[in-house]
Structure 1
Amino acid sequence: MIKVSVLYPNNEGSKFNMSYYCNSHIPMVQEKLGKACKGVAVEQGVSGATPGSRPAFVAMGHLYFDSVGEFQSAFGPHANAIMADIPKYTDIQPLIQISEVKI
């Protein structure tokens, strides 16, 4: 299983609308990716390692697929529509990480 993580750095002065992300963007992404997407998770950063410090990321979205190929096949045809929705909830340039889930 692979996990596609979309990480939104906690930049000073940036905006992120968690309500839109959870209630509109993620459901739209799930609909577009269809059955290839095996699951999703959304996290909101609350703190860094030091008490009272800012979290490194304001939000993180995770999408699960059986393989990188499954992700690429599902995402490719909808990439433009998914990417065009990003400015509706944030001005942050996301970082993308594709990982193999081991445990």
Structure 2
Amino acid sequence: MKSVLIASFFLLTTCFAAFSQEKPNTAVAEKGLIKVSVMYPYAEGKTFNMEYYQTKHMPMVAGFLGSNLVKYTIEKGLASGIPNQPLSYMAIGTFYVKSLSDYQAAIAPNRDAIRADFPNYTNISPVILVSEVVK
């Protein structure tokens, strides 16, 4: 009986230790990356086709970025931070890249193709913010 209790205790503490280990902080791995946020402001009469953006436009631009691209995200605006106010942005697409100069070199020759694709998913002129991830 004593050996069963010891074995059970050992098994329980091993499982607890395995499940309670702290997860690595992925934000630390992103420190120093360049973040390019392409934001589509909300306004009356403006449209945005999220399906097209998600399946066609963003993968196309990601392909231009090649190995410089670490990841990209797509956000769909739901609400404003202030109750009963319209949302600020209908959507935000974000690219995380290793090098700003490599990003600019990849986008420059493809700028016309990227802009020509806008009417396929939106009638909004995006606002672009380039920043460095600090944490």
- TM-based fold match above 0.5: yes
Contact 1:46 1:54 in 2 (8 A): no
Equivalent-residue separation in structure 2 for 1:95 and 1:7 (angstroms): 5
- Name the one with the larger strand percent: 1
Match among 127, 131, 135 for residue 95 of structure 1? 127
Aligned partner letter, 2:127: L
Secondary structure, in 3 states, of the residue corresponding to 1:39?
Answer: strand
2:3 maps to which residue? Answer: none
Q: Deviations over 1:32-76 (max 9, x none)?
A: 221122110010111111234321000000011112112111111
Match among 59, 62, 80 for residue 91 of structure 2? 59
TM-score normalised by L of structure 1: 0.93
Equivalent-residue separation in structure 1 for 2:66 and 2:45 (angstroms): 35
Runs of 4+ in 1 over 4 A off after TM superposition: none
The number of equivalent residue pairs is 103
Ranges in structure 2 where 5+ consecutive residues have no aligned partner: 1-32
Secondary structure, in 3 states, of the residue corresponding to 2:52?
Answer: helix
TM-score normalised by L of structure 2: 0.72
Equivalent-residue separation in structure 2 for 1:77 and 1:21 (angstroms): 21
Aligned partner letter, 1:68: L
- Name the one with the larger helix percent: 2
Ranges in structure 1 where 5+ consecutive residues have no aligned partner: none
Deviation, 1:80, is 1.1
Q: Which has the higher contact order (CA 8 A, sep 6+)?
A: 1
Higher Cα Rg, which structure: 2
Tell me, yes or no, if structure 1 residue 20 matches structure 2 residue 39.
Answer: no
